[in-house]
Amino acid sequence: MARFLVTGGAGFIGSHLVDALAGAGAKVRVLDDLSTGRRENLPAAARLIVGDVADPGTVRAAMAGVDGCFHLAAIASVARAAEDWLGTHRVNLGGTIAVLDAARARGVPVVYASSAAVYGDCPDQPITETAPTRPLSAYGADKLGGELHAAVAARVFGVANVGLRFFNVYGPRQDPGSPYSGVISIFAGQLRRGEPVEVFGDGGQTRDFVAVADVVAALRAAMGRIGPGDAAGRITTPAVPQALVFNVCTGIATSIRALAAELAALEGGTAVIREGPARPGDIRHSVGCPDAARAALGLGPPMPLRAGLAGVRAWLDAGLRLERT
Ligand code: NAD
Ligand code: UD2
């Protein structure tokens, strides 16, 4: 039975990964400070260590005896990184270095969350992994810093690792009540409450929305490249440690206005749109090329946006039913 550490495992993406790993029979340990994550997101089979991913001693202890580490803990918000530059840097880059350092000490392969934010405004769309990286946010700069340290970790310290540049991930458990959440959960919550949706700027900016189930599949396949290949614990670590980086995306562009219309149609109406000021440094277009990840990780076709949004709606429905009982 393979044993995994998932940092940030009580959060949105992390908890879906924990469900999948535990469901496949793996032993899962979670390190999370529960700042945005929730204990209730975790299956009973997972062991939760409440602690700070930027604390080296905590991370080393959490990594003892595992076969692979998925590093997802972060302050996952461009806006929060703008408000608290140094505080988010401590967690987002400091936490990644703490994880790589513990992995070096314990000989553990690492799959970690990077972001499309590393690219900034890229003139060539869809964006391939070889495009220049020019982040437009402190959050993106720290994600890029994490990739640079991961490359050093492989080349110099022998830590096999894969960084996954998630584009805009959505799905059940993404908090509709937080202004720092992703746009899909914010809009879905606003429409549910019968409120107008607030579009920052003219709404012509585009994003590549990828379903959380597809992200979980990419995370698990990436671990299969460098570490325990499956829940039965087959180890496939290559002789020469690698630092690989892949986009996790669909290749499909959706404008923020079109997204609002799509979500409103699911609710059986039309969206009332309020135009707010553009977010400083907001990226205009962000659509990724999924080909390299598909080829290297053997990924299937992505979930269509409409089906994924219906899943979000069903999850919100279930939550409303629970609140009423
Ligand atoms: P999330 O906020 O739901 O999950 C992050 C988790 O990290 C939370 O459970 C939180 O409690 C935990 N955490 C935060 N600071 C911590 C600390 N100091 N110590 C320990 N735990 C800490 O966000 P998410 O959307 O699930 O993001 C997961 C990862 O994916 C992050 O690294 C994020 O940057 C990355 N990512 C997310 C998206 C997206 O669209 N959601 C896109 C690109 C990259
Ligand atoms: C960035 C990253 C993403 C992830 C995320 C973490 C890019 C392209 N993507 O997402 O990979 O790391 O950060 O937070 O860098 N918007 C509105 N109204 C709202 C909320 C958002 O119009 O109420 C707009 C916002 O201005 C932006 C788009 O929706 O143009 C998406 O915003 P987001 O906060 O969901 O994600 P984004 O793209 O900053």
Say what the pLDDT of residue 227 is. 76
How many whole angstroms separate alpha carbon 108 and alpha carbon 236? 12
Say what the pLDDT of residue 325 is. 46
How many whole angstroms separate alpha carbon 62 and alpha carbon 3? 12
Ligand 2 centre and the CA of 183: distance in Å?
6
List C-alpha distances in Å: 248 to 182, 237, 256, 301, 306. 16, 22, 20, 12, 18
The residue behind tokens 């972001």 is: 115
Say what the pLDDT of residue 238 is. 52
The residue behind tokens 């749109």 is: 273
Say what the pLDDT of residue 283 is. 94
Three-state DSSP class for 28? Answer: strand
Of 36, 75, 78, best ligand 2 pocket probe by most atoms within 8 Å of the beta carbon: 78
| CATH of the domain spanning 3-172+209-250+288-301 | 3.40.50.720
pTM for this prediction: 0.96
Each residue of 144-183: pLDDT tens digit? 999 999 999 999 999 999 999 999 999 999 998 898 999 9
Pairing of strands 3-7, 27-32: parallel
Say what the pLDDT of residue 321 is. 60
Ligand 1 centre and the CA of 210: distance in Å?
16
Say what the pLDDT of residue 64 is. 97
12 lines ligand 1 (CB under 6 A): yes
Q: If we measure between CA atoms, which residue out of 71, 69, 79 comes closest to residue 139?
A: 79
Q: What are phi and psi of 211, to 5 degrees?
A: -70, 145
Ligand 1 centre and the CA of 187: distance in Å?
20
How many whole angstroms separate alpha carbon 135 and alpha carbon 138? 8
Looking at the DSSP bridge assignments, the partners of residue 274 are 198
How many whole angstroms separate alpha carbon 204 and alpha carbon 257? 7
How many whole angstroms separate alpha carbon 95 and alpha carbon 56? 8
How many whole angstroms separate alpha carbon 271 and alpha carbon 268? 10
- Output the six-digit token pair for 182: 């992703």
Q: For the chain, which residues score pLDDT lower than 70?
A: 228-241, 320-325
Of 13, 77, 183, 312, best ligand 2 pocket probe by most atoms within 8 Å of the beta carbon: 183
324 CB neighbour count, 10 Å cutoff: 6
